[in-house]
Structure 1
Amino acid sequence: MISEKKCKDCGKVKAAAEFWKRKASPDGLALYCRDCFAQRNSASYRKKQASLGRKTKDFRRRREDPQGMKYCPRCETVKALEDFGNNRSKGSGNSSYCKPCWNTITREHRERRHGSSRNYLLKLRYGLTEEEVRQMTVQQGGVCVICLRAAAKHVDHDHFSGAVRRILCFKCNGALGQFEDDPQRMLLAADYLELRGSQARMLENEFGEPVFRRRTRVELRGLNRVAWGTLGGTSRAGHLHHRYGITESDADRLFELQVGLCGVCSDRPGEHIDHDHGTGAVRGIACTGCNTGMGQFGDDATCLRRAADYVMGELVRTVALPDGTTRLSFTCPDVDPATVPLNGWKPYRDADGERRRGDPSFGRRAGDGFTPLEVLVREIVARSGASGGSAVSGASARS
């Protein structure tokens, strides 16, 4: 077996590995080295394409990249294989372009076919175009239909049916997810914040107040060293002491009073101390979803009640106009969203909040001859059906 051979085209003596195999040759190797063979094939191919009137790219020699490296033809750089994505359709198992170039190519492709990446994602996730979302935002006056405070920027949809509901702000959209689109939990949270629920009554029976007040300096005197961990205390004790003004025994007692359950929904384990950010008073121990959801709604009972009606499809209504057109309505007293600037919703929001707080049924079923208690029970049953939950568990938690 020969180790070297001379190429008939370039006349250079090269290693046998630089020649392709050829059974017809006495030595079993091709007459031309690999580079010259490629040049010959390229010339033949381009001559044929030119006779057919077709244009071809310039000839590019085959690259020999170092082990563990790969060439990206877009940025024309040799990079490590870790800089390339996976592609099982390729023999090498890697994509043709490095990750930054692949992202750029993908973005350009989306913009060319769909107008923009946002338009592509809207069509992919919700079946809406960017223009349709813009029209929906204009219809609701550019404001989030739940809080009536922030600009509407995020598409909200029903996670069960996939139907698009309205355009919300970031916080309201996230808060609905924390409450798992459950209107019962939102109504219970509204009463909890206003100290009208079972949690407030339990605290008042135990401590004489609907909240657990922060301990005074005099009451905490002598407990500081333990709370700071110098006499066997824990980091949890220090956190409770500094942030909420209570001790570990206070937190443990509150947890026992709630039977280990969330003070808002009574369905999930209590995990986080919940307090009034204005007064610092502790209201109870809440689960992660209720605690985070109330925080994203700004501890606002009006937002929670509006969100409960929104999830059930009772907040946003279509109003027919005398000229045959329609507009949206999502407050009471009714107002045309197109006539209110983004920062002018406060009086309408306050009036709407008072109306919802005084009448949980909000007039939808109150004029049917039922007593207020019957209206409330019917509302709980209806909201339970809308959320797919049990009316019994929600009613018992509320009582």
Structure 2
Amino acid sequence: MTEVTPLPESPVKECSRCRQTKVRSDFHKCTARRDGLNSWCKECAREYQRAKPNGVCQVDGCQRVTTMGSRKCDPCYAGAPPLAQAHRTRGMPRYDDAGNRLCSDCLEYLAVAEFGVHSRVPDGLSRFCRPCARVKNVRKKYGLTIAEAEKMWASPCNICGFFADGEMVIDHCHDSGGVRGTLCHPCNVSIGHFRDDPALLDKAAQYLRRFPRGQASQDPPEQTEVRHAPRARGWSTHKRRKSICP
């Protein structure tokens, strides 16, 4: 492979558009070029950008007109919703003088304890506070608003009727993603172990009816065929097990 020899650094450079010789500070940086500077000067690049036709803002839900060929309109860059996440916190420090952290969604400085853990963020904390993260998770995972989710969390279990504030979960189909109802944690884990298969639940019910509560069979258990259970998506178990159900 041929090595690229860098050009000797010169205090001036000629713009390839206006053909004027200017100092290096009049050019934008460009690491792809051998001299590290753009071929056009800043003034020519600015004029070319302004001459671009207007377009439509590409932020989801925004139909404002853009200028100078920009992908986003001025309100979206300035912070008016709808706005891309990367531009909402532009220029805002991550921590204030009191040590509170900035939430990238509500744009408020809150205590560090109000944020969850995130290993991919440099400081190890989530960019969103816990209430904002809960709203985003409900919308992304279940397709519900926070009001609809709060109503389901305030409902008793659809299987056993148990209710405890703060312990109810939203059950959904792992194949289609549709919400099915509200369950308590034991019921939700139980149907996950049965791989959401009604046939296995019926067999389990028949098995329990053979032995009333407090009694056990004195006969040796019947031998059934042993086969590997399929690894279904959403099967809430910590390891692969063998099923004794034919």
Q: Would the TM-score normalized by the shorter structure come out above 0.5? A: no
More helix by share: 1
TM-score band by shorter chain is 0.3 to 0.5
Give TM-score scaled by structure 2 length.
0.40
More strand by share: 2
Between 1 and 2, higher relative CO (CA 8 Å, sep ≥ 6) is seen in: 1
